[in-house]
């Protein structure tokens, strides 16, 4: 795909300041044609805006240098000259630049980042925003997961973003622009990753207490590995064989855990929290808040309000032994 190139007259320092910082959500470190176009648009706008800004500063500098002399250099003080200057700089030049910007951004580029039509992409992923995590479904399969969206690399994927409660905004800056999740509406956005990798995103529309901890990761994989991953996700959970994990399963089913979480293939069919069928396969917990490791998992179960205050999961006052068993069970859900 042909991409718009960055203008060559960039201030190098600006480029360094903006793209050399290693932020995982850098809008100027694009990994898709869509984000690439938007970033190029930014650099062009910055270059033109910089020229305008410096021009205006130069005029103010001129005012300082000529503070004791009346009139303009060359043109003097005539009404025609001064009004002409206002008309030229305030109307004609901006109008020209704005028409160009409108054409490039709002008539041409908008098509390249606009919502993909149903059926126009290789596959569709349904993402449902919840306070405060992302539910991820793969239509046509039984796979349900949370916060980590696997997609095949170099393949157009249509994400349909909806909400289970309030307005959120689905945003993975390095892949594409954002789209809000609106109650009663099915908005969509195209994801296309140039190469395999993990791309961070997060909720961009203020959605309450834990808006700050509503991250998501898009994991772009080579096609074959993606297919294997999806197949595993679609399967129900395997029953645990180790005694400790079996005890953990009983703890899960006997306590409130199963009222809120689903583990496919078990009686647990709760709909409030994320689907845990293959939770051990995910690398983070609580929407990218903490790493998914036994110690962090145990701390989370013991006191979820300490980790992510205000989230919907209550502390269940389980004994340390029960927590250990529960962790053993959940760790087994690969």
Partner 1 sequence: MAIAVPREAGPRIERLERIWRERPGVMGWLTTTDHKRIAILYLFTSLAFFAAGGVEALLIRTQLIRPDNGLLTPSGFDQAMTMHGVTMIFLFVIPMSIGAFGNYLVPLMIGARDMAFPRLNAASYWIFLASGLFIYGGVAAGHAPTAGWFDYVPLASKQFSPDSGIDFYALGLIFNGISSTAAAINFIVTIFKLRAPGMSLNRMPLFCYAFLAVSFALVFALPALTCALLMLEADRLLGFQFFEVARGGDTILWQNLFWIFGHPEVYVIILPAFGIATSIIPTFVRRRMVAFPLVALAEILVAFIGFGVWAHHMFAVGLSQVTTIYFAAASLIIVIPSGIQLFAWITTIVTGTPRFKTPLLWIVGFIVLFIIGGLSGITFAAIPFDQQLTDTYYVVAHFHYVIFGAAVFPILGGLFYWFPKVTGRMYHERWGQASFWVTFAGMNLTFFPMHIVGLLGMPRRQYTYPPDMGWTGYNVIESIGAYVLAAGLLMVAVNLVVSCFRGARVGNDPWEGDTLEWSTSSPPPAYNYAVIPRVTSPYAMWDREDREADVENLAAGEKVLEQGHETPAVTAVDAEWDEILEMPSSSPWPPVLALAISGVFAMVILKQWIAAGVFLVAAFVVLGAWHGKEPQEA
Considering only residues 44-103, where is the footprint of partner 1 by CB under 8 A? 45, 49, 52-53, 56-57, 59-60, 62-64, 66-72, 77, 82-83, 85-87, 89-91, 94-95, 98, 101-102
Minimal distance in Å, beta carbon 228 to partner 1?
A: 29
Return the number of the residue (69 or 317) whose C-beta is nearest partner 1: 69
Return the number of the residue (188 or 221) whose C-beta is nearest partner 1: 188
Return the number of the residue (182 or 280) whose C-beta is nearest partner 1: 182
Is omega for the bond preceding 132 within 30 degrees of 0, making it cis? yes
Q: Is 26 in the site for partner 1 (CB under 8 A)?
A: yes
Site for partner 1 in 270-289 (CB under 8 A): none
Instruction: Answer for the pair 294, 331: CB distance below 8 angstroms, yes or no.
Output: yes
At residue 184, φ and ψ (nearest 5 deg) are 80, 5
The count of chain residues that interact with partner 1, using the rule CB under 8 A, is 88
Return the number of the residue (93 or 238) whose C-beta is nearest partner 1: 93
Minimal distance in Å, beta carbon 291 to partner 1?
A: 11
Using CB under 8 A, pick the residue from 1, 2, 13, 107 that binds partner 1. Answer: 107
Return the number of the residue (48 or 122) whose C-beta is nearest partner 1: 48
Using CB under 8 A, pick the residue from 209, 242, 256, 306 that binds partner 1. Answer: 209
Q: Is 183 in the site for partner 1 (CB under 8 A)?
A: yes
Return the number of the residue (35 or 292) whose C-beta is nearest partner 1: 35
Return the number of the residue (73 or 267) whose C-beta is nearest partner 1: 73
Minimal distance in Å, beta carbon 329 to partner 1?
A: 28
Distance between CA atoms of residues 54 and 57, nearest Å: 5
Minimal distance in Å, beta carbon 81 to partner 1?
A: 9
Instruction: Answer for the pair 325, 244: CB distance below 8 angstroms, yes or no.
Output: yes
Secondary structure string (H, E, C) spanning the chain = CCCCCCCCCCCHHHHHHHHCCCCCCCCCCCCCHHHHHHHHHHHHHHHHHHHHHHHHHHHHHHHHHCCCCCCECCCECCHHHHHHHHHHHHHHHHHHHHHHHHHHHHHHHHHHHCCCCCCCCCEEEEEEEECCEEEEECCCCCCEEECEEEEECCCCEEEEEEECCCCEEECCCCCCCCEEECCCCCEEEEECCCCCEEEEEECCCCCCCCHHHCEEEEEEECHHHHHHHHHHHHCCCCCCCCHHHHHHHHHHHHCCHHHHCECCCCCCECCCCCCCCCHHHCCEECCCCEECCHHHHHHHHHCHHHHCCCCCCCCCCCCHHHHHHHHHHHHHCC
Return the number of the residue (10 or 204) whose C-beta is nearest partner 1: 204
Q: Is 227 in the site for partner 1 (CB under 8 A)?
A: no
Site for partner 1 in 124-143 (CB under 8 A): 131
Minimal distance in Å, beta carbon 117 to partner 1?
A: 12
Using CB under 8 A, pick the residue from 24, 156, 240, 281 that binds partner 1. Answer: 24
Minimal distance in Å, beta carbon 1 to partner 1?
A: 15
**Partners of 150 in the beta sheet?**
219
Instruction: Answer for the pair 37, 73: CB distance below 8 angstroms, yes or no.
Output: no
Binding string to partner 1 for residues 233 to 262, with x set by CB under 8 A, is what?
------------------------------
Minimal distance in Å, beta carbon 143 to partner 1?
A: 25
- CA 237, distance to chain mean position in Å, is 29
Q: Is 117 in the site for partner 1 (CB under 8 A)?
A: no
Q: Is 27 in the site for partner 1 (CB under 8 A)?
A: yes
């Amino acid at each position: 795909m042909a991409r718009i190139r960055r203008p060559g007259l960039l201030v190098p320092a600006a480029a360094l300041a903006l793209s050399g910082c290693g932020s995982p959500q850098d809008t100027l470190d694009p990994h898709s044609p869509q984000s690439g176009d938007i970033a190029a648009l930014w650099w062009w706008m910055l270059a033109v805006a910089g020229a305008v800004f410096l021009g205006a500063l130069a005029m103010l500098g001129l005012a300082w240098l000529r503070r004791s002399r009346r009139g303009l250099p060359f043109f003097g003080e005539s009404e025609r000259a001064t009004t002409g200057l206002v008309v030229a700089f305030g109307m004609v030049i901006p109008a020209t630049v704005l028409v160009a910007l409108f054409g490039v951004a709002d008539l041409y580029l908008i098509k390249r980042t606009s919502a993909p039509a149903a059926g126009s992409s290789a596959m569709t992923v349904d993402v449902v925003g919840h306070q405060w995590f992302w539910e991820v479904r793969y239509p046509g399969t039984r796979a349900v997961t949370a916060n980590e969206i696997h997609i095949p690399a170099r393949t157009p994927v249509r994400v349909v973003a909806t909400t289970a409660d309030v307005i959120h905004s689905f945003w993975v800056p390095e892949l594409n622009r954002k789209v809000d999740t609106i109650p009663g509406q099915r908005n969509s956005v195209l994801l296309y990753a140039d190469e395999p990798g993990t791309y961070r995103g997060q909720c961009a529309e203020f959605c309450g207490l834990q808006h700050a901890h509503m991250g998501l990761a898009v994991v772009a994989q080579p096609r074959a590995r993606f297919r294997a991953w999806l197949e595993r996700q679609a399967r129900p959970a395997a029953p645990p064989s180790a005694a400790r994990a079996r005890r953990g399963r009983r703890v899960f089913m006997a306590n409130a855990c199963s009222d809120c979480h689903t583990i496919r293939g078990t009686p647990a069919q709760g709909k409030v929290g994320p689907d845990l069928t293959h939770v051990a396969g995910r690398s983070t917990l609580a929407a990218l808040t903490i790493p998914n490791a036994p110690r962090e998992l145990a701390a989370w179960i013991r006191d979820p309000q300490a980790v992510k205050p205000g989230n919907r999961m209550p502390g269940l006052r389980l004994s340390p032994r029960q927590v250990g068993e529960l962790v053993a069970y959940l760790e087994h859900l690969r």
